């Protein structure tokens, strides 16, 4: 794998995060749900994007506010297994919003 020897490791996909790779901080409790000064984790941008395409802010705040909980989510687990084999610089746009929306009446 390409990457610098001392690059931080993405806690979701376990790939190194080179300094010039697309990356972002994820608030474990969303800022809109009171987590603005709470703990954050550095992630690949593709991993961060997937979290927000799968889970709502409310779900993140209530049930998926730890790395372990995120990794255990079935849809995220499948994504993480897939992306783990990619180069640390790999990035692609999210396919779209994967969340199931309630139908409005």
Domain residue spans of the chain: 23-83
Whether 57 contacts 21, CB under 8 Å: no
Q: Low-confidence residues of the chain, pLDDT below 70?
A: 1-5, 94-105
Q: How far apart are CA 45 and CA 26, in angstroms?
A: 9
Whole-prediction pTM value?
0.85
Whether 45 contacts 92, CB under 8 Å: no
């Amino acid at each position: 794998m390409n990457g610098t020897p001392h690059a931080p490791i993405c806690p979701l996909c376990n790939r190194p995060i080179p300094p010039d790779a697309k990356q972002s901080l994820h608030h474990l409790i969303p800022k809109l749900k009171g987590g603005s000064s709470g703990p954050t984790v550095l992630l690949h941008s593709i991993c961060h994007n997937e979290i927000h395409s799968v889970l709502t802010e409310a779900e993140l705040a209530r049930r998926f506010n730890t790395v372990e909980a995120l990794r255990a989510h079935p849809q995220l687990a499948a994504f993480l297994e897939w992306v783990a084999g990619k180069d640390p610089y790999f990035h692609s746009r999210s396919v779209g919003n994967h969340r199931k929306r309630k139908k409005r009446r």
